[in-house]
Structure 1
Amino acid sequence: MRYLVLADIHGNWPALEAVLQAAPPFDRVLFLGDAVGYYPDGDRVLDFLLEVGAEGVLGNHDAWLLALEQLPVEGPVLEILAWQRKRLSRRHLDYLASWPWQKEVEGALLVHGSPCDPFTYLDDLAPAREAFACTEKELVLHGHTHLAGAFLALEGPRLWVRHQAFPQGGELLLSPKVRALVNPGSVGQPRDGVPGAAFLLWEGRKLEFFRVDYPLNRVEARLLEEGFPLWLLERLKVGQ
């Protein structure tokens, strides 16, 4: 089975569309959270995930949108989520609410942040070590940091952990004794200094990272059309 693995789309439909046009053939879609937030087209993103029957887990922006009635709507992040929620159907909301915090697929664990806590960022060796201690799974697929790469662990007298970044794409073959925390990078808002939409193809112990360009003027047009702040576009230009 070959999986298209997506994370952190954040309502950026032009980015997702570019991924779908560039992706090699795949069998199923796995989604690692944060369909909504930041960019205007959360509804279109959810339509796609529903259409293909994607198996997803809840991200922090997804959870915040669902819990807006219990949150003070202050600051641009929650204001955007409140704007998006008004445009989502009951079908969209029920679909979001059906996502678990964690899910197992073919022996791999899907989670937005860390196996210890879905809101924890796996952005350094210390939280990565803690994450490996929180699960016995050989492969964890996660998002949240918007950084394409993998933490690799090898058991010995002590746990040996290193990080390998894939901002420009590349291939990772996992040996039988290695455990991995793998992040495909963000479709909608990369933060590793490389513009473009990131995604991953996973098949067995082979993981292929991709980064694809797309016309940012389409994002700009949507931001202007809906009155969204243009700093969102500036982030995309520099991959931050």
Structure 2
Amino acid sequence: MRHLVLADIHGNWPALEAVLQAAPPFDRVLFLGDAVGYYPDGDRVLDWLLEVGAECVLGNHDAWLLALEALPQEGAVLEILAWQRARLSRRHLEFLASWPWQKEAAGALLVHGSPCDPFEYLDELEAARRAFACTEARLAFHGHTHLAGAFLQLPGPRPWVRYGRFLEGGELRLPPAVRALANPGSVGQPRDGVPGAAFALWEGERLEFFRVAYDLGRVARRLEEEGFPLWLYTRLTLGE
């Protein structure tokens, strides 16, 4: 079975459309959190996740949107989330609220941040070592950092952990004895210096990373239509 692995869409519908146009055929969608936040079309993203029956886990922006009443209404991120929440239906909110912090799907662990803490960033080797110790899963998918890559743990008396980046795509083969923490990169807002929508396809021992270009002007026009700050567009042009 071939799985489309997505993370951190953040309401960027043009980016998700580009992924769906570029992706090879797939059987199932695994989504690693942060459907909402930053860009205006969180409702369209949630509609699509519902339509395809995606396996989803909660991201920090998803959780913040659900808990807005308990958070101070300050800062652009929370203002955007409040704007989005006012436009979501009860069905959308119930769907978001049904997502766990982590879950097993198709033999892999899905989590937004780390198996240790859904808000933790897996962006350096020591954090990855802790994460491997927090789960027995051979393969875990995570998002949150918006960086496409994978930490690999090789067996031995003192397991060795190394990291590989997949800035513009590439393929990873997982031998039976190797464990992996893999991040497909962000669909909606990459932060590794390479513009475009990032995603991955997983089938058996093979994990393939992709980066697809799309018309960023469509995002700029949506931001202008809804009065969102244009620095959100600038970030996309820089991949940060």
TM-score of the superposed pair, with normalisation by structure 1: 0.99
Cα shift readout 1:97-136 (whole Å, capped 9, x = no counterpart)? 0000011012210000000000000000010000000001
Alignment partner of 1:216 is 2:190: no
Q: Specify the code of the residue in structure 1 equivalent to 2:145.
A: T
C-alpha distance in 1 between matches for 2:121 and 2:235: 19
Query: How far off is 1:205 after superposition?
Result: 1.2
Query: How far off is 1:155 after superposition?
Result: 2.2
The alignment partner of 2:123 has SS state of coil
Partner of 1:130: 130
Superposed CA RMSD: 0.5
C-alpha distance in 2 between matches for 1:157 and 1:105: 30
Partner of 2:106: 106
After superposition, residues 118-157 of structure 1 pair within 5 angstroms as: 118-157=118-157
Structure 1 stretches of at least 4 aligned residues deviating more than 6 Å after TM superposition: none
Partner of 1:168: 168
Partner of 1:49: 49
Cα shift readout 1:56-82 (whole Å, capped 9, x = no counterpart)? 000000000000011111100001000
C-alpha distance in 2 between matches for 1:100 and 1:236: 29
Aligned length: 240
C-alpha distance in 2 between matches for 1:173 and 1:179: 11
Partner of 1:207: 207
Cα shift readout 1:196-238 (whole Å, capped 9, x = no counterpart)? 0000000111000000000000000000000000000000001
The alignment partner of 1:150 has SS state of strand
The alignment partner of 2:63 has SS state of helix
The alignment partner of 1:168 has SS state of coil
Structure 2 residue ranges without an equivalent (≥5): none
C-alpha distance in 1 between matches for 2:80 and 2:42: 10
Structure 1 residue ranges without an equivalent (≥5): none
C-alpha distance in 2 between matches for 1:116 and 1:215: 37
Query: How far off is 1:159 after superposition?
Result: 1.8
Partner of 2:72: 72
C-alpha distance in 2 between matches for 1:177 and 1:51: 36
TM-score of the superposed pair, with normalisation by structure 2: 0.99
C-alpha distance in 2 between matches for 1:153 and 1:213: 31
Cα shift readout 1:147-202 (whole Å, capped 9, x = no counterpart)? 00000001212120000000100000001110000000000000000000000000
Query: How far off is 1:31 after superposition?
Result: 0.3
Q: Specify the code of the residue in structure 2 equivalent to 1:142.
A: H
Q: Specify the code of the residue in structure 2 equivalent to 1:37.
A: G
Partner of 1:63: 63
C-alpha distance in 2 between matches for 1:103 and 1:212: 28
Q: Specify the code of the residue in structure 2 equivalent to 1:31.
A: F
C-alpha distance in 2 between matches for 1:58 and 1:144: 11
